[in-house]
Amino acid sequence: MTKKYTYLVHIALFLAAMILLCLGFFLESPNGGLITEQRAMPTCKEVQEVAEETRSDAAAPQGVTREFHFTLDNNLTEKQLMFYVINSNTKVYINGELVFDKHRSETNKVSATGCYWVNLTLLRADNGKEVTVELQPLYAATVKRAVTFYEGSQYPLFWKILKQDAVFCFFGIFLILFGIIYLGISFYYCVKMRIRLNLSSLGMVSVLVGCWKISDTYLITWLLPAHVRFFSYLSSIAILLLPFFVAMYINISARPHSTIQRAMYGLMIGNAVLVAIAGLLHLLRIVALRESQGMFVYLILAEAIFMIVLEFVIYPRHRNDMRHKLFMASVICLMLSILLDVLCFLIWHSSNLLFFTMIGIAVYIVAIGILTLRNAQDKLFRDKATGLYNRNKCNELIHMGIAPDDRLCFMMFDLNGLKKTNDNCGHDAGDQMIAKFAEVLRNSIPAGNFIGRSGGDEFISIIYNTDEERVKKIIADMREQITAFNQENEHGAWQLGAAVGYAFVNEVGSRSYMALYELADKRMYENKRAMKAVRTE
């Protein structure tokens, strides 16, 4: 399999694994497909007959109080009343007696209750009694949110929540871990390699999306009821900070385009100012963070659309590059996943907690991480003029490499006349000469072997699992291509020519690449002197 398809295979395998995991979890039968005789399992059912009314209340945060009335079942042996509350003050009465009260501080008008589960253990004497639930929404967005009440055992409901949210918590943890890894890699490359990667901003985006996803699930508030306010603030802060790091990511991606960079710098500054204002309004107890996050969601959407347009319109010259195609595939995957969630919402009035979008985001982040690291490796070890491995990689290999077996050949090439071409025709002509010879080497040497530019006019190649007959064929193919090129460009400004030397492991008595390099270098210069002698005759 060629290297250019390796990226696609990685992404396809990852995507397939995620889909299989999710389908396996969601489609699992309650009894695992086994027929068993067992005691009756605990039951939990949704309360069906619920009367709701909304009345004006000047003392309530949004000026309204929502009341729900229903009667507890007489037949349930395990009695628990459960329902999920989204940022609201809550009171629960049983036959007029207050049994639960949760509200924000009266002195702090912007404090949040968070999103939380009310889980009341009821007495057997409560069977058949009238329940009244009062909710005072803290924010306008929660005034009309539906509330579902459950009674019975908590375990079936917990299992239902687990099946619904476990996959999203997994995606959240996955994104956080990948974000931390990207931040660590970016720091290492910056400090050790002096290369600035676009992974730091992508890592922060990944961490923030993961934090938002985990903190916004039913499961986390069920498992950690004492920390619901923390997760409420975490969700809001993640949404507030996301546009800044998305803009930073676009800014670094668009580095060659100064106009786009200036626009992104302006957007980053504007976002920082908005975050500061939102934080100040919250500290002054004027507007809560939760109420400010709407504008930031729209800002994220606008930036995402801009990023997609940027890739489709501004960088058309890269569309034939395999890595760019993979990048575009990940962007299209993200777009389709968002579209699927929108369609699910329009058709079934359920976004399924952005299930497909989370898959798209995960695929996008993995794809971009792989491509960024490959590009960083290219900066470190690829020669810009030829696309071959550069001097750094060649030196590393020569000093550290050990031949795996005796069927390895170390080859050296010296490009003839490069200095003369540079002096007489200019460095552009010299660069063309170098690039043409690199093309000849790529065409002559079988794929899977190492080819690098070790100096200005010197190249090396390591041929694995070979013999002298095959090496001589490589040299003959190279000479044939050089002759054909020189004949076609007989009256050109320059002609190609190269000296060659090679060494096998069994000739040096060592598997060290350094020993092979020294012998091949010696033979190359012998060949170079012989070629000069022929030209002078």
136 contacts: CB under 8 Å, gap ≥ 6: 57, 60, 61, 62, 64, 65, 66, 88, 89, 90, 103
Tell me what pLDDT residue 35 has: 43
Name the residue type at position 82: M
Given pLDDT bands bounded at 50, 70 and 90, which one contains residue 4? very low
First to last CA, the chain: 49
Question: 69-73, 111-115, 135-139: lowest mean pLDDT where?
Answer: 111-115
- Is the model's pLDDT at 260 over the cut of 60? yes
| Maximum mean pLDDT: which of 131-135, 503-507, 510-514 | 131-135
Tell me what pLDDT residue 291 has: 67
Tell me what pLDDT residue 527 has: 92
- Is the model's pLDDT at 477 over the cut of 90? yes
CATH 3.30.70.270 region(s) of the chain? 391-536
199, 201, 203, 207: CA torsion to nearest 10 = 180
Name the residue type at position 388: L
What string of DSSP letters covers 417-458? THHHHHHHH-HHHHHHHHHHHHHHHHHHSPTTSEEEE-SSSE
| Maximum mean pLDDT: which of 120-134, 281-295, 334-348 | 120-134
- Is the model's pLDDT at 34 over the cut of 50? no
Higher pLDDT, 198 or 405: 405
Q: What integer is the mean pLDDT of 94-121?
A: 80
Q: What integer is the mean pLDDT of 356-371?
A: 80
Exposed/middle/buried for residue 162 (C-beta within 10 Å: 0-12, 13-18, 19+): middle
**CA distances, 411 to each of 377, 433, 436 (Å):** 24, 20, 18
Given pLDDT bands bounded at 50, 70 and 90, which one contains residue 525? very high
Q: Give which of 375, 465, 331, 439 is closest to 193, Cα–Cα.
A: 375
- Is the model's pLDDT at 186 over the cut of 90? no
Tell me what pLDDT residue 97 has: 92
User: How does pLDDT run across 419-434, given as a tens digit for each residue?
Assistant: 888 888 888 888 889 9
Q: What integer is the mean pLDDT of 294-310?
A: 71
What's phi and psi for 322, nearest 5 deg?
Answer: -60, -40
Q: What integer is the mean pLDDT of 14-20?
A: 59
**CA distances, 35 to each of 39, 43, 203, 295 (Å):** 13, 19, 47, 53
Q: 205, 238 in Cβ contact below 8 A?
A: no
> Which residue stretches of 316-464 are H helix?
322-348, 355-381, 391-400, 418-425, 427-444
- Is the model's pLDDT at 163 over the cut of 80? yes
Q: 474, 445 in Cβ contact below 8 A?
A: yes
Tell me what pLDDT residue 428 has: 85
Q: What integer is the mean pLDDT of 242-248?
A: 82
Given pLDDT bands bounded at 50, 70 and 90, which one contains residue 1? very low
Tell me what pLDDT residue 469 has: 92
Tell me what pLDDT residue 41 has: 59
pLDDT > 70: what percent of the chain? Answer: 80
- The two tokens of residue 449 are 């072997």
- State whether the Cα torsion 390-394-400-401 is positive or negative: positive
Q: How far apart, in whole angstroms, are the C-alpha atoms of residue 173 and residue 20? A: 18
Q: What integer is the mean pLDDT of 502-507?
A: 90
pTM, entire model: 0.69
- For the chain, give the mean pLDDT: 80
Q: Give which of 69, 119, 57, 66 is closest to 88, Cα–Cα.
A: 66
- Is the model's pLDDT at 503 over the cut of 80? yes
Tell me what pLDDT residue 458 has: 92
Tell me what pLDDT residue 30 has: 45
| Maximum mean pLDDT: which of 184-198, 258-272, 353-367, 501-515 | 501-515
Tell me what pLDDT residue 20 has: 57
Tell me what pLDDT residue 347 has: 67
Higher pLDDT, 416 or 332: 416
Tell me what pLDDT residue 165 has: 87
Q: How many Cα neighbours within 13 Å face the side chain of 465? A: 4
- The two tokens of residue 5 are 């398809």
Q: 50, 70 in Cβ contact below 8 A?
A: yes
Chain position carrying tokens 């760019």: 324
What's phi and psi for 528, nearest 5 deg?
Answer: -65, -45
- Which CATH code fits 45-152? 2.60.120
Higher pLDDT, 495 or 413: 413
- Is the model's pLDDT at 40 over the cut of 80? no
Given pLDDT bands bounded at 50, 70 and 90, which one contains residue 322? low
Q: How far apart, in whole angstroms, are the C-alpha atoms of residue 497 and residue 353? A: 65
- Is the model's pLDDT at 455 over the cut of 80? yes
Q: Any bridge partners for residue 409, and if so which? A: 463, 504
CATH classification number, 391-536, choose in 1.10.10.10, 3.40.50.1100, 3.40.50.150, 3.30.70.270: 3.30.70.270
Higher pLDDT, 167 or 254: 167
CATH 2.60.120 region(s) of the chain? 45-152
Q: 282, 110 in Cβ contact below 8 A?
A: yes
